[in-house]
Amino acid sequence: MLIGEYRHSLDPKGRVNFPAKLREDLGDSFIICRGLDNCLYVYRMSEWDKLVEKTSALPSSKARTIQRFFFASAVCCEPDKQGRVLIPQTLRDYAGLTGEIAVIGVSTRAEIWDSARWDEANAALTSESVAETMEELGF
């Protein structure tokens, strides 16, 4: 399970020292792609395969938008010996990544956020709003 919040900085080449705990859970290579809320999603290969399977099972009229959004931007990453991962410029632009970033574990995937944007999104979460959503879902 991917959990936790980690703060790191992008180097001038667009690399980030990916958190060791998340690297262990993600494996030797993993996928980074555009995510919702202007962050990046990071999938272990087995989870990526599930996404591919699910979208392939949809009618093409529904699948093509999802496939274009996630698959066109996807890159397979392998951390270097220092644990760094290069985030391509197009993905950095999409997520507004320039300096400090937040890498968070979200169960079956990780997310990469611009730190300021993450702080803003996280501040909007209150225990009351989460409780309300949990109640709606039957938790």
H helices within 58-103, ranges in order?
60-71, 89-95
pLDDT at residue 129 in the model:
87
Q: Which two tokens stand for residue 97?
A: 């990544």
Q: Which two tokens stand for residue 52?
A: 């591919």
pLDDT at residue 125 in the model:
85
Of 129, 115, 110, give the one whose Cα is nearest residue 4: 110
CATH top class, domain 5-136: alpha beta
The rounded mean pLDDT for the chain is: 95
CB–CB of 118/100 below 8 Å?
Answer: no
Three-state SS for 11?
coil
* 10-residue stretch averages of pLDDT, the chain, 139 residues long: 96 95 95 97 97 94 93 96 96 96 97 97 88 91
pLDDT at residue 83 in the model:
95
Q: Where are the domains of the chain?
A: 5-136
Of 76, 126, 118, 83, give the one whose Cα is nearest residue 97: 118
